[in-house]
Each structure stands twice: as C-alpha cells, then as structure tokens.
Structure 1
Amino acid sequence: MKLAPLVSALGIAQIISWGSLFYAIGVLGAPMRAELGVSELFLFSVFTGALLVSGTFATLAGRLIDQRGGRFVLSLGSVLSIVAMLLLATAPNAAVMVAGWLVAGAAMAFCLYDPAFATLSRHAGERYRRSVTALTLFGGFASTVFWPLSLLLLEAWGWRMTFAIYAGIHAFVCFPIHRLFVPRHLALPHEAHGETAEPSPALGDPRLPWLTWSFAAATFVFGVVAVHLISLLTSAGLTAAQAVTISMLVGPMQVAGRIIELGISGRVRAVTVGVVAFLLMLVSLVALISVEGFGIAAIVFVTAYGWGNGVLTIVKGTAPAELFGRQGFGALLGHISRAGLYAKAVAPASFSGLLALGLTRNAALAAMVTVSIAGLGSFLMALRKRP
C-alpha cells in the first residue's frame, strides 16, 4: 500500500492531538485555574494524574491494536479527546475540570505516538522505521503550532471557547482521518486466524525489563529538563530573553536530529542510534552543568538535548521491533511506554524535591547524570543476545 497518505494523515492528527491534549495547558492553564479558583500546584497535579492515567491505559491500547487494529483504537482516542475537550470547555467547577483532564489522559493512551507507531507496524512492512521517523517529523511541530494558536484563540475568545474549538477539530479532522485513512485491521503473517493476536515473545525475554527501564530513565531526564528548562538556564547566568531563545531552539534541533536519522536509517541499526541518543543525553547534561551565561556550553546543550530527545522518540518505536520482532507489537509498545509515562509524570516534581532538600542546581543535575548513565547501562544490557 502507499504509505505517504497514511503517514501524512496520521501526522496531521498527531500535531492536533499532541497540541491540544499535552501542550495547550501551558497557555490555557493560567486563565483556567484563575476562573475556577484552583492553584497552579493543584492544576499541574491533575495533569500529572492525567499522565498516570495514560500510562495505566497504554498496555490496553496496544493490546486492542493487536486484536482490532489501529482504526478502532485511534478513532476511540479521538472520541475520548472530544469528550475531554468538551468537559474542560464547560467545566463549572474544579471537579469537572479534573474529570476532563483525566479523560484527556486516557485519550493520550489511545491516540498519541505509541498507538500510531503500532498501527504503522501493521501496514508499513519493511518501511516501518522510515515511516515512524516521518511521522515524528510531523509531531515535532505540535508545540510550534499549538502554543501560538492557543494564545491567539485565548486572546480572541477565551480558554473555554478554545477548548470547544479543539473539540470540534478532533471531531471534524482527527476522527475522520482515523476512520478514513487508517486501513482495516490487517493480521500479520505470523498471527493465527481469528480475533486473538499472538502475544509478543518479548514478554518473556529477560532483555525486555532492561529496555523498558532504559527508556523510562531517559524519559525521566528529558521530562525534568523540559519542564525546568527556563529556570535551569536563568540560574546559570542567562537572561530570561536568552533562556527563552535557547528553549525555542529545542524544537528545530529535534526535527534536525530526526531528519539526520531518516537519512541514515537504511544504513545504521535503530539500536545503534539508540546508543547515540543516550550519549547525547549525557553530553547535554554535562553541558548544562557547565553553562555560565550565554555561550558555547549553552549551544552545545540545546543541540545535544534537541537531537537526543528527537531521535530517542524514534528509537522507542523502532528498537523494540528490531530486537523482538513485530508479533504482538501493540501490546509490547504499550508495556514499554507505561513505565515511561509514569516517569514523565513524576519527573518534574522529583527534581523540585531534590532542590527543596537543599541540593544545589548542579548537584541535582549531577543526579540526573547518574540516572542517564544508569539508563545507558540498561539499554546496553538490552542489546545482549538472548541467553
């Protein structure tokens, strides 16, 4: 089948889904909490809960893709997104707002990268890795599009109407994309006939826990830096304007890393790219510790951080297929991503906790270096041949 229409359509849906479910809170959160009378801590604790819900449903979403296909699961994600956006748009009090974000967390499990990757794995054949990279190129623009869009809509019509508009976009763009462009469920050659797909042999492989925890460690570190980026830079001597400038370069660096990965995907194994991604994460942290004002260390940091983060997203979808095959791949990706989503949920507060305990900025970052080294070690353990 022709993959370009499928990847392009899923890419548009990914921009919308990431932009509305994950990034919009950065712009719409302040006016929402001001009107509903809740604190910033309360709002982002609820969002942390949404990420935990996403992790909880990740394995179920993957298993459903194996059994019923991506069309059903991604469409369900669109329906949940519509419900979540409408709950947020009409929330009369904090309780309904909490319900809206928790439904949004469930929607994330059914319509973001992992279910999209698992869907592509059933239709892309040998072109799977390149299709994953191409899809992430679209997703990389979600914040670039939805932060200014959310601000524009907020200033024009307010946060409630913005969420209502996003509900409409999910209803009239994402849902039709998932119903019309995603092919019907396709059983893979190794799967038996019938409704029940064969489970992945990786679930009994001793290398799987190492791979799972390596990705969780990386997600934890990248999650810490993403949330605390501005304060980490300003505390190292950059002005607020300089820190914002550096942070704005992260997205383009992610896209640049993914373009490079696309160019070498036919010659370099995904697991090799994974090792490079972990090394880039380490380089970025060391550079961040070394930053003293706006200089070469800050440039090295944003380049290594952007490239490493951008490429690791691809590795999460391609390395498991390379190591374990694509039998029961949806459930496998869900199993792996669950730990990562939990890590992403607790990462920002964990780093804040280290600072609250009295650790200096650099000491707390040194702790992140330790987590990164552990993640790299776990990833290398996962690359061993199965005993």
Structure 2
Amino acid sequence: MQSRQFQKLIWPLAIAETILWAALYYSFPALLVQWEQEFGWSKTGLTGAFTLAVLTSAAMAPVAGRLIDRGLGTKVFCGSAVAGAMLLVLLTQVTQLWQFYLVWFGIGITLAGCLYEPCFAILTRTLGSRARRGITIVSLMAGLAGTVSFPAAFYLSSTFGWRGAVLVFAAVIIVIAVPLMWWAASRAEQIGGAASVPSSRNAREPMRIARKPAFWALALGLAMISMNTGIMITHTIPLLTERGFARETAILAISMIGPMQVIGRTMVMGIEHRVPSLVIAISCQFAMSAAALSLMGATALPVLLASFVFLQGLGNG
C-alpha cells in the first residue's frame, strides 16, 4: 500500500476511535457524579453498570471477531457505533436503576464491535506487516479520548444538563465517527479483499497457546491492569471532590492522564527493541501501583496529585 493510501485509511479510523472512546466509554466516569446527584443511587450501584458493560464487551469480543473474519467488518464496525449512539439517546430516558443497567449492558455489546479490537482486526487483515504502524497511530490518538471527554462532559452538562451532554455525544458519533468509519472500513475491505483465509493449523494455534501457563499469567496481569484503569477513571473525580479538591481540579487531573498515556506509548516505541518486554510490563505495573499510593496521599500533600497523573498515565500507556 502506498503511503498516501495508508494515511487516508489510518487517520479517519484514529479520529473515529477517539470519538467512540470519548462518547461510549469515558462518558460514564465523566458523568457519574451527575447521575449520583440526580437519581440518588449509590456509587456502587451506578458503577456496577459500567462493570457490566466492560464484562459484556469482553464476552462479546470473540463473536465480533468471527463476524469480521467472515467479511462483515464494515457492518459490525459501523453498526455497533450506530447502536451505541442510539443507546446513548435511550440513556437520557432512564428513570430506574434496572433500566440504567439494561442500557449499559447494550452499550457493552456495542463496545465489542467498535472499539480497539475490531478496528485493529480490520487493520491487520488489510495492512498485513504494516498493521503495527497503523495500530500505533490509532492507539496514540485515541489515548487522548479521556482528555476530550472529561472537559467536554463537564462543560456540556454544566450548560445543558447531563442529558444534553449525552445527546451531543450521540450526535457526534452519528455525524462524524460513523461516516469516517464507513469510509475507512469499506476502503480497507476493498484493499484487503484478496487476503488469504487462515489455515486450519493457524486456526488451532490459539488453543495451543491457551494451554500454556504463561498465557494465563499474562492474561491475569492484563486483567489486573484493566481493572486498575477502570477503577481509577471511574472513582478519581468523586474521590478527589470528597477530599476537598475543586471539581475543576479533579477534571483537569483526570484529563491529563490521556497525554501521559501517549507519552508512555511513545516511550515504549523508543525502547522496545532494547528493553525486554517483561521488564517494560513489570515497570508499568509498578508505576500504576505507585500512582494509587500517590492518589491516597494527595490530600495531605497535593503535589502527589501530579505524581498520580504522571505515573497512572505513563503506566497505562
């Protein structure tokens, strides 16, 4: 593929993924406080819906992958984004906690079809050996989704209420993200139309790998990182405001994690050929553990809030 074609394929996907992460994923922690104040539901009850969405997304990811492998990448990718936007609209109508859970269960299904995994699967099928560069560009840009979502949600909810903010997020998905996704994914299918079907030997490879203890150790480590990230982005704003920090300060702090993630990913790109992957992975986990300790001590020593932002973003990135 020529460089110009590569850029035309990658940048629309990068913009679309940034919007999707901001609107469908980060909107939950960004609006959590408003939901708690309006509905009076407990923080535990509310965050359970987000946990359900993440678990549902993980469970549905293999289904989305199989559909993409059958040549339905564009339909799965764009259809999931449209469904996610419609569910955001439906979210503005909920009045009961079970309805809130039901909507986020549905959003969890759509996450499996339109976030990183399906996007990267499409790029891998299309670009082959060049997919890594494309995936890097998309993940670097989408790493700023939280930086977009938190301030936008704060401003929009302050001006139009949380329902207005959610409707704006839904509209941005439909008007900007979906057309970009459709154009890029359709182009990817045309370019990768002659891609070979995996052999039966390759099809059995995942099962062979899954029998290795190292696979499960890695899976557990990644699950812990994912859990840490989910807890931090969901609870940082309420935690900081409860401990006396201004809401604007809390939003600034959580928003700056995104740029730190980008820095972290860029650093890994620079050292990955010189430093063993295991060392990088362990260092990231230590950084995120240190970030949690910094957050705990930020009330007594506010400068530790900057340490939390730096370490959490760097480790997660």
TM-score (norm 1): 0.67
Alignment-derived partner of residue 284 in structure 2: 280
- Would you say 1:240 and 2:245 are equivalent positions? yes
- Would you say 1:147 and 2:150 are equivalent positions? yes
Q: Which of 2, 17, 23 pairs up with 2:26?
A: 23
- Would you say 1:134 and 2:134 are equivalent positions? no
Summarize the Cα distance change of 1:75–1:198 in structure 2 as closer, same or farther, 3 Å threshold: farther
The answer to whether the 8 A contact 1:49-1:102 is kept is yes
- Would you say 1:261 and 2:264 are equivalent positions? no
> CA shift at 1:201, angstroms?
0.8
* Identical pairs, percent: 29
Mapped partners of 1:134, 1:201: distance in 2: 28
> CA shift at 1:187, angstroms?
5.5
* RMSD (Å) for aligned C-alpha atoms: 3.3
- Would you say 1:172 and 2:179 are equivalent positions? no
* CA-to-aligned-CA distance 1:210-254 (integer Å, 9 cap, x gap): 33223113223344444455688899xx97369846555422221
Mapped partners of 1:201, 1:187: distance in 2: 22
The answer to whether the 8 A contact 1:27-1:150 is kept is yes
Mapped partners of 1:90, 1:288: distance in 2: 36
- Would you say 1:67 and 2:70 are equivalent positions? yes
Letter in 2 for 1:7: I
Moved more, 43-52 or 207-216: 207-216
> CA shift at 1:165, angstroms?
2.5
Alignment-derived partner of residue 301 in structure 2: 293
Mapped partners of 2:56, 2:207: distance in 1: 22
Alignment-derived partner of residue 371 in structure 1: none
| Gapped regions of structure 1 (runs ≥ 5) | 311-387
Once the two structures are superposed, the pairs formed by residues 70-219 of structure 1 within 5 Å of their partners are 70-182=73-185, 183-184=188-189, 186=193, 188-189=195-196, 191=198, 199=203, 201-205=205-209, 206=212, 207-219=214-226
The answer to whether the 8 A contact 2:28-2:234 is kept is no
- Would you say 1:250 and 2:254 are equivalent positions? no
Mapped partners of 1:199, 1:88: distance in 2: 39
The answer to whether the 8 A contact 2:148-2:255 is kept is no
Letter in 2 for 1:212: A
Letter in 1 for 2:301: G
Summarize the Cα distance change of 1:225–1:81 in structure 2 as closer, same or farther, 3 Å threshold: closer
Summarize the Cα distance change of 1:126–1:198 in structure 2 as closer, same or farther, 3 Å threshold: closer
Mapped partners of 1:126, 1:300: distance in 2: 37
The answer to whether the 8 A contact 1:18-1:139 is kept is yes
Identify the structure with bigger relative contact order (alpha carbons < 8 Å, sequence gap 6+).
1
> CA shift at 1:199, angstroms?
2.4
Mapped partners of 1:49, 1:12: distance in 2: 26
Summarize the Cα distance change of 1:37–1:280 in structure 2 as closer, same or farther, 3 Å threshold: closer
Letter in 2 for 1:6: L
The answer to whether the 8 A contact 1:16-1:170 is kept is yes
Q: Which of 9, 12, 24 pairs up with 2:12?
A: 9
The answer to whether the 8 A contact 2:24-2:84 is kept is yes
Q: Would you tell me which structure has more helix in proportion to its own residues?
A: 2
Mapped partners of 2:118, 2:101: distance in 1: 24
Mapped partners of 2:64, 2:70: distance in 1: 10
Moved more, 272-281 or 223-232: 223-232
Once the two structures are superposed, the pairs formed by residues 30-45 of structure 1 within 5 Å of their partners are 30-36=33-39, 38-45=41-48
Alignment: residue pair count: 301
Moved more, 224-233 or 98-107: 224-233
Mapped partners of 1:232, 1:98: distance in 2: 23
Letter in 2 for 1:5: K
Q: Secondary structure at the match of 2:203?
A: coil
Summarize the Cα distance change of 1:49–1:289 in structure 2 as closer, same or farther, 3 Å threshold: closer
The answer to whether the 8 A contact 2:146-2:255 is kept is no
